[in-house]
C-alpha cells in the first residue's frame, strides 16, 4: 500500500544484509519511522512492545526473528531457544506459533551450515505468501461488498471496522481492509467508519492513517458509537479481523469486537470476520479455550498523544490510585458471525464448514 504516495510493505529485508526493517507502529500516525531489527532480541522486543501489530505481521516478524537468531548460532538448541523466546512474546495470536512451527519444520532436517540462508529465504517466502493470501481475501470479500453495493443502488457502502486489520497488521493489503481496497479499485463507492479501539487506539492511529493514505473516505468514531450508528441505519455491514479462530468458528479479536457483533445482530446487519487460514486453530474446539492476553493497566490509565509542541507524550486520564484491568481481546461466538472471509473463500462459522480448512 502507500505512504506519502510511495509503495510500502510493513516489513522488508535490509538490502545491505544488516537485518530486517519494520515500520515502527508506535510512532504512527505522527511520524513514519523505520526500525532495523538486527537480532533475536530486537525481533522479540518489536513484537512484545507492539512496534509490529496484527496476527499475520507478528507471524512473519517471528519468522524473520528466527532467521536473525540463526545468523549467530545455527544449532538445534539455538533454534529451539529462538522459538521459545519469540513464542512467549504474545500469547493470543496463533499466527505467531504457526510461523515458528513452519520455520522449525523446514529447517530441522537441514545440515546446520545451510540453515542461515535457508531461514531468510523461507521467512521471505512466508511474507510473500501473506501478501498473496491477503489479496485473495480481498477478492473474496469484494463479492460481499459488491452485493451490498447493488442493494444500496449506487449509494456508498458504509462499513464498520474495529482495531487495525489493515495492511499495517499484515505484510500488505490487510485482512479486513483488503476487501475495502479491492472495492475502491473496482470503483465501488464506500465509506468506512473506524472505531478508535481503546486503549491503544489502533483504529485512530493506524486504520485511519492507512485509509487516509489510500484516499478511502472514512470517519473516526469512538468505540461506543457503532451500535448507535447501526440503529440509525448509517452502517450497512461490519468487517473485522481475528487473532485466532477456534474450530467451531468462535473468533478472537481486539477487545470490543464482541459488543459490535451483538449490536450488528440486533440491528440485522451482516458481521464478517476476515482472516487467513493460518489464523485458524483446529486444536481448540471453542473460543473459551483461547488464552486472552492481559496487558499493562497503564495502557488504560494513560493516553498517548501529540502535544502542541509536536512532542508525543503520555498523560494520565484516571485518578492516581485507581486500578485498571486491560484484557487485550474478546471472543465473538460463531452464532454472531455472518461468515469468515479467507483466501480460500467465504465460509460459514461452524465446525462442519471450517473442517475443510484444518
Mean pLDDT for each consecutive 10-residue tract of the chain (358 residues)? 91 95 95 96 96 94 97 94 95 89 96 94 97 98 98 97 96 97 98 97 96 98 97 98 96 98 98 96 95 95 91 94 97 98 97 88
Catalytic hit among 130, 172, 195, 243: 243
CATH number at residue 272: 3.40.50.10470
Co-location of 155 and 290 in the same domain: yes
Q: Whole domain around residue 266: which residue ranges?
A: 140-357
Co-location of 76 and 194 in the same domain: no
CATH number at residue 117: 1.20.120.420
Match 519469540 to its residue by C-alpha cell: 86
Is the CB of residue 18 less than 8 Å from the CB of residue 38? yes
Match 510461523 to its residue by C-alpha cell: 99
What total of structural domains would you count in the chain?
2
Q: The whole model's pTM is what? A: 0.94
Helix (H, G, I), strand (E, B) or coil at 246: strand
- Residue-wise pLDDT for 237-285, tens only, equals 999 999 999 999 999 999 999 999 999 999 999 999 999 999 999 999 9
- Supply the pLDDT for residue 295: 94
Is residue 54 a part of any domain in this protein?
Answer: yes
Co-location of 23 and 84 in the same domain: yes
Residue 44 CB neighbours (<10 A): 23
Q: 243 catalytic, yes or no?
A: yes
Helices (H) and strands (E) in the chain, counts: 12, 18
Amino acid at each position: 500500500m502507500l505512504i506519502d504516495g510511495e509503495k510500502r510493505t510493513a516489513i522488508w529485508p535490509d538490502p545491505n544484509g544488516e537485518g530486517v526493517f519494520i515500520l515502527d507502529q508506535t510512532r504512527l500516525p505522527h511520524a513514519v519511522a523505520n526500525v532495523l531489527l538486527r537480532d533475536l532480541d530486537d525481533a522479540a522486543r518489536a513484537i512484545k512492545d507492539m512496534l509490529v501489530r496484527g496476527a499475520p505481521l507478528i507471524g512473519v516478524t517471528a519468522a524473520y526473528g528466527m532467521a536473525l537468531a540463526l545468523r549467530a548460532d545455527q544449532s538445534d538448541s539455538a533454534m529451539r531457544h529462538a522459538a521459545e523466546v519469540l513464542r512467549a512474546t504474545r500469547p493470543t495470536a496463533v499466527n505467531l506459533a504457526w510461523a515458528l512451527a513452519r520455520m522449525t519444520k523446514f529447517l530441522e532436517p537441514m545440515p546446520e551450515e545451510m540453515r542461515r540462508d535457508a531461514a531468510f529465504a523461507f521467512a521471505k517466502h512466508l511474507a510473500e505468501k501473506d501478501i498473496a493470501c491477503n489479496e485473495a481475501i480481498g477478492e473474496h470479500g469484494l463479492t460481499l461488498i459488491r452485493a451490498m453495493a447493488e442493494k444500496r443502488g449506487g449509494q456508498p457502502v458504509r462499513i464498520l471496522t474495529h482495531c487495525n486489520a489493515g495492511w499495517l497488521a499484515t505484510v500488505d493489503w490487510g485482512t479486513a481492509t483488503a476487501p475495502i481496497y479491492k472495492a475502491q479499485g473496482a470503483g465501488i463507492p464506500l465509506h468506512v467508519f473506524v472505531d478508535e479501539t481503546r486503549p491503544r487506539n489502533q483504529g485512530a492511529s493506524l486504520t485511519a492513517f492507512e485509509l487516509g493514505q489510500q484516499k478511502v473516505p472514512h470517519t473516526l468514531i469512538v468505540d461506543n458509537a457503532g451500535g448507535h450508528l447501526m440503529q440509525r441505519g448509517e452502517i450497512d455491514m461490519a468487517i473485522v479481523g481475528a487473532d485466532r479462530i477456534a474450530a467451531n468458528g468462535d473468533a478472537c479479536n481486539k477487545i470490543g469486537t464482541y459488543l459490535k457483533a451483538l449490536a450488528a445482530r440486533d440491528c440485522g446487519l451482516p458481521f464478517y470476520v476476515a482472516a487467513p487460514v493460518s489464523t485458524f486453530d483446529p486444536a481448540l474446539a471453542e473460543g473459551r479455550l483461547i488464552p486472552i492476553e492481559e496487558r499493562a493497566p497503564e495502557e488504560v490509565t494513560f493516553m498517548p498523544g501529540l502535544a502542541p509542541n509536536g512532542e508525543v507524550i503520555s498523560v494520565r486520564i484516571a485518578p492516581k490510585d485507581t486500578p485498571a484491568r486491560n484484557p487485550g481481546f474478546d471472543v465473538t461466538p460463531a452464532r454472531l458471525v455472518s461468515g469468515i472471509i479467507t483466501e480460500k473463500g467465504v465460509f460459514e462459522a461452524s465446525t462442519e464448514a471450517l473442517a475443510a480448512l484444518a
